[in-house]
Amino acid sequence: MEWICLDFINSDCRNWRGSGQREDRLTKPEWWQYFANKWELQVPLPSDPKLLLALRELRQQMRNVVEAVAKGEPPDAGDLHGINQAIAAVPSYRRVVHQPDGFRVEEVVLGEGWDLVMGRIAASFAELLADADLRRLKICENRSCLWVYFDESRNRSSRWCDDKTCGNLMKVRRFRERQKNKGEGD
C-alpha cells in the first residue's frame, strides 16, 4: 500500500550510496512533478519561503513520530499537535447520499491549494498511525539512507528500503568488515 505521507517524508532524502548527504527534493522541479502527478495535486512547485518552512516543519514532525514509533516510544506531543493543526486547516463535512444500492455517507472537503495538500498529507499520516500495522513502519537500516517505508514482506523481516540498492550495499559492507577483521586477526 502506498501513502502520500511517506512519499512526502522521503522528499528529505540522503545519498544512500555512501556520504549520507541530505538532499531536500521539495524544491526540485523533477521531484515535484513526480509527486504532484502521482498524487494528482493541483499546486505548483513550492517556492514561497514561509510555505517551504511550514512544509519542512510538517515533514520533520512526521519523521519524528516515525522515529518514536520505530523505537517503541510515545511521540512528542508538539509533533502530534503540528500534524493535527495541518489536518484542522482543512474544513470538511459529511453528508448522506442516495444511490441505487442504498445510502452512503461521504465526506466533502472544502479546503484548497496548499492547505488542502498539507491537510491531505497529514490526514494520510494520521490514518497510517491509527489503521496500519505499525510494526511494518520502518526506517531503512542503511544509516546513510534512512528512507521511511512500509514493510510489506510476509514476515515483516525487511531491513532496507530496497534489497537491490541498500540491501546489497549493506551486505557488501558487512562482507568487507568481516574480511578486514579476519585480516587483523592473523
Interface residue with Zn ion, options 6, 79, 147, 170 (CB under 5 A):
147
Q: Does 158 bind Zn ion (CB under 5 A)?
A: no
Close Cβ partners of 164 (under 8 Å, ≥ 6 residues apart): none
Q: Does 145 bind Zn ion (CB under 5 A)?
A: yes
Q: Does 170 bind Zn ion (CB under 5 A)?
A: no
Specify the stretch interacting with Zn ion by CB under 5 A; choose among 4-12, 37-45, 93-101, 156-164.
Answer: 156-164
Nearer to Zn ion, 122 or 140 (CB): 140
Q: How far is the CB of 160 from Zn ion (least distance, A)?
A: 5
Nearer to Zn ion, 76 or 151 (CB): 151
H-state helical runs in 19-167: 29-38, 49-71, 77-88, 113-131
Specify the stretch interacting with Zn ion by CB under 5 A; choose among 26-34, 41-49, 72-80, 160-168.
Answer: 160-168
Close Cβ partners of 5 (under 8 Å, ≥ 6 residues apart): 62, 121, 122, 124, 125, 128
Site for Zn ion in 13-72 (CB under 5 A): 16
Close Cβ partners of 49 (under 8 Å, ≥ 6 residues apart): none
Nearer to Zn ion, 83 or 145 (CB): 145
Nearer to Zn ion, 15 or 179 (CB): 15
Interface residue with Zn ion, options 142, 148, 158, 169 (CB under 5 A):
142
Q: Which three cell numbers stand for residue 163?
A: 534489497
Q: Which helix (H) or strand (E) holds 23?
A: strand 22-24
Degrees to nearest 5, angle at CA 163 with 157 and 167: 90
Distances in Å between the Cα of 91 and the Cα atoms of 27, 46, 50, 119 are 27, 22, 22, 9
- List residues binding Zn ion (CB under 5 A): 16, 140, 142, 145, 147, 161, 166
